[in-house]
Amino acid sequence: MVWGLFHEIGRKIIHITILFVLGAYFLIQESLTGAGYTAALAKQVALLFLVALLIIFLILEYLRLELGWRMPFFSQFIRPKEQNRMYGVIYFLSATVISLAVFDHKIALAALLMTTFGDMAAALIGKRYGNTLIYRNKTWAGFLAELGVNLAVGFFVLNNIYVIIGMASIATVVETLVDELDDNLLIPLFAGFAGQIIQFSL
């Protein structure tokens, strides 16, 4: 399958579904807290929901990779290098669980949104307008687009300029340097960790 702009757009639209997952997580947490459950228990139940979702996708990946089942519709958006390894959604859901469990919720949210929208900007702008390479197959246009989007996400979610700049920079650099490893896992963890450390140090 030739990877063109259409396939990249379709792939990124699928990735935006993480917004619904995050919405469900926060809805479960707030509903249980409002019903009188402790904040710790509400958070644990919400995280269990995410783990259950991750298990469902792991089962689907088992069917695809181990038994050769071809998933309708979604198969056309799987990159050639992912044909024989786990799809990016597995890594993204894993990073989502870890981020929400370990980082402050605003830092976790910013890291996950940077992964979603920053990566989208880098891919779409880079493929459409990128001519000058910065590293391997990554372009300056994609790099600058992602940095701008990551900063915008940071200013929308966070209120500390040092955390915003630190997270946006780390997320952009990781996306630029990573090719074989899955950026859906690395970006939230690296950016979230950096943001948390910066926040602790202030």
Instruction: Give 151-155 contacts, CB < 8 A, sequence gap 24+.
Output: 153/110, 153/113, 153/114, 153/117, 153/118, 154/110, 154/114
The whole-number pLDDT of residue 76 equals: 57
Mean pLDDT, to the nearest integer, of 120-132?
A: 86
pLDDT-based confidence at residue 129 (cuts at 50, 70, 90): confident
Mean pLDDT, to the nearest integer, of 63-68?
A: 88
**81 vs 105, residue with greater confidence:** 105
Instruction: Give 167-172 contacts, CB < 8 A, sequence gap 24+.
Output: 167/107, 167/110, 167/111, 167/114, 167/191, 167/192, 167/194, 167/195, 167/198, 168/114, 168/118, 170/194, 171/111, 171/114, 171/115, 171/118, 171/146, 172/118, 172/122, 172/143, 172/146, 172/147
Mean pLDDT, to the nearest integer, of 41-48?
A: 96
Look at residue 3 and tell me whether its pLDDT is greater than 50.
Answer: no
The whole-number pLDDT of residue 117 equals: 93
Domain that holds residue 85: 5-201
Look at residue 45 and tell me whether its pLDDT is greater than 90.
Answer: yes
Distance in angstroms (rounded) separating the CA atoms of residues 193 and 174: 13
Q: How many domains does the chain have?
A: 1
The whole-number pLDDT of residue 4 equals: 53
Q: Which of 85-89, 137-141, 151-155, 195-199 has the lowest mean pLDDT?
A: 85-89
Do the Cβ atoms of 187 and 114 come closer than 8 Å? yes
pLDDT-based confidence at residue 190 (cuts at 50, 70, 90): very high
